[in-house]
Amino acid sequence: TGCADPSLPPSVGAGLIVHDGGRVLVTERSDGHGWCFPGGDPEDGEGYLAAAAREAGEEVGFPPGSVDDATLVGVYPAHGKGGAPSAAVVYAVQRPPGWVPDVIDPREVSGVRWVGREDRIGFAFGLEDAARDWFGGRLLGGELAASRG
């Protein structure tokens, strides 16, 4: 029907924009829904930044403890399971030195790639607004020292 299942509660997930100069890391979802930033749903009692970092570790091997300098990019409306209302809390962090992302959990992620402002990809969950804000320098948590290209 295209409508959200009213029995599903709204969910809030967390995403992590890992940036390296003017590029950001995106992951291709294994379910065919497109590209997104590493991230997922918090576990009970887990904060959004901790959830984004944990999920990024599980999906692409993001090193634990590498989010100390993360900045809040924003909170975005998204589409959850079954079309349920959802939101994504998105943070940004500099790529840790020497870290090379790779697919860790192929059930969730089928590919990784670095993209720049000029790249056009199909973002899952409506995350194109987060990418636009990042590349445009519009951050809720203030400016980052690294260039956004």
pLDDT tens digits, residue range 65-77? 899 999 999 998 8
- pLDDT confidence of residue 109: 95
What pLDDT does 33 receive? 84
Per-residue pLDDT of 86-132, as tens digits, reads 888 999 999 999 999 999 999 999 999 999 988 888 888 778 889 88
Q: Report pLDDT for 105.
A: 92
Q: Model pTM greater than 0.95? A: no
pLDDT at 37 over 60: yes
pLDDT score of 90: 94
- Residue whose C-alpha is closest to residue 87's, from 29, 12, 2, 9: 12
Structure tokens, 107? 């059930």
Output the DSSP codes for the chain.
--S--TTSPPEEEEEEEEEETTEEEEEEETTSS-EE-SEEPPPTT--HHHHHHHHHHHHH-PPTT--TT-EEEEEEEEE-GGG-EEEEEEEEEEPPTT-----S-TTTEEEEEEEETT----BGGGTHHHHHHHHHT--TT---SS---
Does residue 8 or residue 63 have the better pLDDT?
63
- Rounded to a whole number of angstroms, the distance between the first and last alpha carbons of the chain is 41
pLDDT grade for 51, boundaries at 50, 70 and 90: very high
Cβ burial, residue 8 (10 Å; 0-12/13-18/19+): middle
Question: What is residue 84's predicted lDDT score, i.e. its pLDDT?
Answer: 64
State the pLDDT at residue 4. 44
Instruction: Give 148's pLDDT tier (boundaries 50, 70, 90).
Output: very low
